[in-house]
Structure 1
Amino acid sequence: MNGELWGLFAGSFLAATLLPGGSELLFGALVLAGRESPWLLLAVATLGNTLGGFSSWLIGYGLAVRYPQRTLDGHGHARALAQVRRWGAAVLLLSWVPLIGDPLCVAAGWLRLGWLASLACIALGKGGRYALLLAALGGG
């Protein structure tokens, strides 16, 4: 993989963590530059963003040991957790949405939702967002 692809992977990964940042501009710039296959760019961005989102799931999974459910009752977290419980892993199709996607991934891990279903829904949501951007740019 060349430097641009590694940069896209890293940028996509970091954008999907609790750190601030976005990868759409980099993805769009690389698509428009036309030096790589748009499908390869889609795959790299989706992989990086999916693994970044899943790292948030893993953080939540680890936090569940330190902060069991009873410690969060009554702290304003109940509503968000109720939504994740209600929809299950399917709620992670929204993991790409700014401001709510990262906390959804953490909550899903904290609730110990199945890792495979969670990973699949994160990938579908994040990949779908990049696919729509690719189509909007005329690259797909």
Structure 2
Amino acid sequence: MAYLTLFVTAFAAATLLPAYSEIMLGTMLTQGYSLWWLWLWATAGNTLGSVVNGVIGRQVDRFKHKRWFPVSAQQLEKARTRFNRFGQWSLLLGWLPLGGDALTLVGGIMRVPWLNFVILVAIGKGARYAFVLWVVMEAAGVPSESVP
């Protein structure tokens, strides 16, 4: 059940919902949960949350002319131009605390092929969670031999 909670928290953290999976991840590591399972569930949840952003991004063109749409045509064009500067490779930065969610949204708007989208986002998210786990291990003095 704890891994499922981590998955859901990581999923929410990748969307526009306010959630912080790193705190839960670090706490669970210090409580003796498996390093590898923590990494896997956090990465999977966060990647899937970004896929939801990509799906929403693919729907933007349907709604961009509606009065209630929160982004102007100029802002949308500016986002597309910035994304095109580095292309789909920018999805490797989808883990960033500020702007990462927007990158995955724009990746959807730009219709990055799903396989590329998922692989690039998963690499970035997986690297971030590996780094977080390493920092927690170092800070908490968790010896690597004791990590299941």
| Band of TM-score, shorter chain | 0.7 to 0.9
For residues 45-56 of structure 1, the aligned pairs below 5 Å read 45-56=42-53
What is the SS of the residue equivalent to 2:75?
coil
Say how many residue pairs are matched. 134
Q: Within the alignment, does 1:18 sit opposite 2:16 as a pair? A: yes
Structure 1 partner of 2:105:
106
Contact 1:8 1:44 in 2 (8 A): yes
Partner Cα separation in structure 1 for residue 21 and residue 34 of structure 2? 17
| Letter paired with 1:95 | G
Structure 2 partner of 1:87:
86
TM, length-normalised to structure 2: 0.83
Alignment CA distance shift 1:65-1:77 (3 Å) = closer
Structure 2 partner of 1:5:
3
Structure 1 partner of 2:30:
32
Provide the alpha-carbon RMSD of the alignment.
1.8
The match for 1:58 among 55, 58, 78 is 55
Deviation digits for residues 97-125 of structure 1 (CA, Å, limit 9, x no counterpart): 11201111111101111111111111011
Partner Cα separation in structure 1 for residue 83 and residue 130 of structure 2? 25
Partner Cα separation in structure 2 for residue 98 and residue 132 of structure 1? 14
Question: Considering only CA atoms, is the larger Rg found in Structure 1 or Structure 2?
Answer: 2
Partner Cα separation in structure 1 for residue 77 and residue 28 of structure 2? 41
Partner Cα separation in structure 2 for residue 23 and residue 14 of structure 1? 8
Deviation at 1:62, TM superposition (A): 1.5
Structure 2 partner of 1:44:
41
Partner Cα separation in structure 1 for residue 80 and residue 30 of structure 2? 40
Deviation digits for residues 16-44 of structure 1 (CA, Å, limit 9, x no counterpart): 0011221100000001111x210110000
- Percent identity of paired positions between Structure 1 and Structure 2: 37
Contact 1:89 1:114 in 2 (8 A): no
What is the SS of the residue equivalent to 1:19?
coil
5+ residue gaps in structure 1?
none
TM, length-normalised to structure 1: 0.87
